[in-house]
A and B are shown apart, each in its own frame.
Chain A
Amino acid sequence: MQLNPSEISDLIKKKIENFDLSAEAHTEGTVVSVTDGIVRVHGLSEAMQGEMLEFPGNTFGMALNLERDSVGVVVLGAYQHITEGDIVKCTGKILEVPVGEALLGRVVDALGNPIDGKGAIDTTETSPIEKIAPGVIARQSVDQPVQLGLKSIDAMIPVGRGQRELIIGDRQTGKTAIAIDAIINQKGTGIKCIYVAIGQKRSSIANVVRKLEEHGAMGHTIIVAASASESAALQFIAPYTGCSMGEFFRDRGEDALIIYDDLTKQAWAYRQVSLLLRRPPGREAYPGDVFYLHSRLLERASRINADEVEKLTGGKVTGKTGSLTALPIIETQGGDVSAFVPTNVISITDGQIFLESNLFNSGIRPAVNAGLSVSRVGGAAQTKIIKKLGGGTRLDLAQYRELAAFAQFASDLDESTRKQIERGQRVTELMKQNQYSPMSVAQMAVSLFAANEGFLDSVEVNKVLDFEAALQLYMKSEQAELMNTINATGDFNNEISSSLKSAIETFVKTHSW
């Protein structure tokens, strides 16, 4: 932005006009000790828990331990210039971050400062990072879907708007890939996305941003990045920052999706901060309130009713519900889900998508373990057509798992068992999906319908994906109208069923895969 000198002086004049000239009253304290980003401050008798404190050199800290003679403060950012005897001022405010539409398409740090080199963020609204979740009266049940665009998940483990669905798995099992596909699939749906990267390599974050830009998904996305090189305090508050940004949309009657990638690292960062503050360690050296750390965060993901939206917007938005859907990610070590943090988060969320490395390595990607993955509210929120067709898939896979061990004796098995095994193999194959290629409801419906109606049974197992690709191409070019109807309504009735059947029959006759 280029300004000429007269404009600049006008701007300054305006600022000076609005400048508050009254004497400033505050409470002060002095720094007693600085250790690994934790500062002990003497004085500050009126400091609040979680209050933002001002250090010299435009540095801020957050008061975490209020003791009789001192306050334990974590410094948010660099602390090397803080020395013993420095003056610390109370600001009288709980830590706040900027929120608003202007953040969409931007990459910000845990305090909401832009780090993408695209200039200042044009928003005046701020919101405290710690807020109490909506109460019981303000809520509405979850009954609308969030389409993640992945066949295996949308068909078997559906996620509703306002739900918390955990993505859990070892390293290198495609957890982030699911999250990125989910963001890409929200393009044009009006769902705003927030991706919170905690403790990741800067290069990984840059990769995510690049991929989202390539697929045109940055326009509806905010990225909150607290990389591995940033202080533990910033990694600890980053999810709350992202959550406040998401709540902005929820409270205005819109829908938002937030991904915390990943909460294991946040728990590590919090453990570090807590131990340095000398709070007593508990199981796995985590502090006593590590459950509350995650429960208070995930409880803020919710669907609120139209009355609440009307109240929060002061009557500006009426008749619309708002939602914030959360997809927290947890990384397990060696498939151990009984460790402290995974069990906690499993018990907090409304279901989990369980990813396994042996599935991933055997080429089943996304590596979803259909048996262990559940969604506790999703069924009510599923699109009708997917609900109808997806039910069969789940059953086929469950039966297949029981019989899979006998697959090698195929010749000795009776007819019905062999059929079930073959169906299972084909459905497993069909559930594979490439990264960055989310599918629409109609595309999924076509694939699932083909499997349910037995069109795949005559196709060789290793040709299933080719068959599917050719079928999708055919449907797109020849049956565009039918696809549009399904996408628009999501209904499933005899008419749609018969048109799908005849379309696929016509396609099968071409033998073009």
Chain B
Amino acid sequence: MSELATLARPYAAAVFKRAKETQAMAEWSQGLAFMSAVLSNEDMSVVIDNPKVSKPSLLAFLLDICQGQVNAESENFLKLLVHNNRLSLLPTIAQLFEAYKADEEGYVDVEVKTAYTLSKEAKQSLTATLEHTLGKKILMNVAVDKSLIGGVLVRAGDRVIDGSIKGRLQHMHKALQ
């Protein structure tokens, strides 16, 4: 994973710069998402990893699938990846691209897990608090996880704020050992 990120970074940075120049951020984002979805398809991996499928025919096949879903520049990018044997990097490139995009637009993706569904007010106050602590706008993604017993677990990138009952019990378990 870490090596993939190192390889994918120049591609992602180039795509990001180009997207900024042509002001086509949303299109690129969509295109990359679509292409990585295609590539992560299990049936596709059979074709991609097959050494008997030549580069031109693979490219033609992929372009055929992506027809109409992506713009012309994305198609060129796909050609480049096929030519460089770097197709497997596409999902990572898409991830890095999204990270650059989020950074540029000044928001962070935050994953929130709660034991019970949050009320609207609770959600609002949580958003306000998190925006204050993280110093950025947040894009909240809420999921319910009964195993937390109570409280919330917030995950923003590498940072984790564990306010769940489960986490506290584990903490206590250690302290009492």
B128 close to A (CB within 8 Å): no
Kindly identify which residue among A21, A23, A25 contacts B159, using a CB–CB cutoff of 8 Å.
A25
Residue of B1, B151, B160, B163 with most chain A CB atoms under a 10 A cut-off: B1
A67 to B3, CA, bound (A): 11
- The answer to whether B5 and A12 have CB atoms under 8 Å apart is no
**Residues of chain B in range 143-177 having any CB-CB distance to chain A below 8 Å:** 151, 155, 157-163, 167-168, 171-172, 175-176
Kindly identify which residue among A19, A46, A68, A89 contacts B172, using a CB–CB cutoff of 8 Å.
A19
A399 to B17, CA, bound (A): 81
**Residues of chain A in range 323-358 having any CB-CB distance to chain B below 8 Å:** none
Kindly identify which residue among B2, B160, B161, B172 contacts A42, using a CB–CB cutoff of 8 Å.
B2
Contact with A along B37-61 (1 / 0, CB 8 A): 0000000000000000000000000
A45 to B159, CA, bound (A): 9
Interface size of A as a range: 20 to 34
B6 close to A (CB within 8 Å): yes
A44 close to B (CB within 8 Å): yes
CB-defined contacts of A12 to chain B, threshold 8 Å: 176
A12 to B172, CA, bound (A): 11
A407 close to B (CB within 8 Å): no
**Residues of chain B in range 1-16 having any CB-CB distance to chain A below 8 Å:** 1-3, 5-6
CB-defined contacts of A68 to chain B, threshold 8 Å: 5-6
Nearest CB in chain B: distance from A359 CB, A: 53
- CB within 8 Å for A45 and B158 given contacts A15-B176, A23-B163: yes
A29 to B163, CA, bound (A): 18
CB-defined contacts of B163 to chain A, threshold 8 Å: 23-24
Of chain A, the residue at the smallest CB distance from B164 is A23
CB-defined contacts of A32 to chain B, threshold 8 Å: 1-2
Contact with A along B83-107 (1 / 0, CB 8 A): 0000000000000000000000000
CB-defined contacts of B161 to chain A, threshold 8 Å: 23-25
Of chain B, the residue at the smallest CB distance from A70 is B2
CB-defined contacts of A89 to chain B, threshold 8 Å: 160
A67 to B1, CA, bound (A): 13
Of chain B, the residue at the smallest CB distance from A11 is B176
- CB within 8 Å for A46 and B158 given contacts A23-B163, A67-B2: yes
Report how many residues on chain B are interfacial, defined by Cβ distance under 8 Å. 20
- CB within 8 Å for A42 and B167 given contacts A23-B161, A25-B159: no
Nearest CB in chain B: distance from A121 CB, A: 15
Contact with B along A85-113 (1 / 0, CB 8 A): 00001000000000000000000000000
CB-defined contacts of A23 to chain B, threshold 8 Å: 151, 161-163
Of chain B, the residue at the smallest CB distance from A27 is B158
Nearest CB in chain B: distance from A386 CB, A: 53
- The answer to whether B172 and A43 have CB atoms under 8 Å apart is no
A328 to B143, CA, bound (A): 58
Of chain B, the residue at the smallest CB distance from A71 is B2
A40 close to B (CB within 8 Å): yes
- The answer to whether B176 and A40 have CB atoms under 8 Å apart is no
A46 to B156, CA, bound (A): 13
A509 close to B (CB within 8 Å): no
- The answer to whether A29 and B175 have CB atoms under 8 Å apart is no
- The answer to whether B162 and A19 have CB atoms under 8 Å apart is no
CB-defined contacts of B167 to chain A, threshold 8 Å: 24
- CB within 8 Å for A45 and B2 given contacts A21-B168, A23-B163: no
**Residues of chain A in range 20-74 having any CB-CB distance to chain B below 8 Å:** 21, 23-30, 32, 40, 42-46, 67-70
Kindly identify which residue among A25, A26, A45, A69 contacts B6, using a CB–CB cutoff of 8 Å.
A69
A111 to B157, CA, bound (A): 31
Contact with B along A458-491 (1 / 0, CB 8 A): 0000000000000000000000000000000000
- The answer to whether B160 and A26 have CB atoms under 8 Å apart is yes
Nearest CB in chain B: distance from A442 CB, A: 53
CB-defined contacts of B155 to chain A, threshold 8 Å: 28
Nearest CB in chain B: distance from A293 CB, A: 26
CB-defined contacts of A30 to chain B, threshold 8 Å: 1
CB-defined contacts of B159 to chain A, threshold 8 Å: 25-28, 46
Kindly identify which residue among A25, A42, A69, A70 contacts B162, using a CB–CB cutoff of 8 Å.
A25
- The answer to whether B2 and A24 have CB atoms under 8 Å apart is no
Of chain A, the residue at the smallest CB distance from B4 is A69
A82 to B171, CA, bound (A): 20
CB-defined contacts of A42 to chain B, threshold 8 Å: 1-2, 5
Of chain A, the residue at the smallest CB distance from B8 is A69
- CB within 8 Å for A44 and B1 given contacts A12-B176, A21-B168: no
A21 to B175, CA, bound (A): 11
- The answer to whether B160 and A40 have CB atoms under 8 Å apart is no
Of chain B, the residue at the smallest CB distance from A23 is B163
Of chain B, the residue at the smallest CB distance from A15 is B176
Of chain A, the residue at the smallest CB distance from B168 is A21
- CB within 8 Å for A29 and B158 given contacts A19-B172, A42-B2, A67-B2: yes
- The answer to whether A69 and B160 have CB atoms under 8 Å apart is no
CB-defined contacts of A15 to chain B, threshold 8 Å: 175-176
A26 to B159, CA, bound (A): 6
Nearest CB in chain A: distance from B66 CB, A: 28
A27 to B155, CA, bound (A): 9
- The answer to whether A24 and B171 have CB atoms under 8 Å apart is yes
A40 to B3, CA, bound (A): 11
CB-defined contacts of A29 to chain B, threshold 8 Å: 158
Q: Could you jot down 9 A-B contacts, CB within 8 Å?
A: A12-B176, A16-B172, A16-B176, A19-B172, A24-B161, A30-B1, A32-B1, A40-B2, A44-B158
A residues lining the B interface (CB < 8 Å) = 12, 15-16, 19, 21, 23-30, 32, 40, 42-46, 67-70, 89
Per CB-CB distance, the 6 closest pairs between chain A and chain B, nearest first, are: A70-B2, A23-B163, A69-B2, A69-B5, A27-B158, A43-B158
If A16-B172, A27-B158, A89-B160 are given as contacts, then 18 extra A-B residue pairs at C-beta distance below 8 Å, sorted by A number, are A12-B176, A16-B176, A19-B175, A23-B151, A24-B168, A25-B161, A25-B162, A27-B160, A28-B160, A32-B1, A42-B2, A43-B158, A44-B158, A45-B157, A68-B5, A69-B2, A69-B6, A70-B2
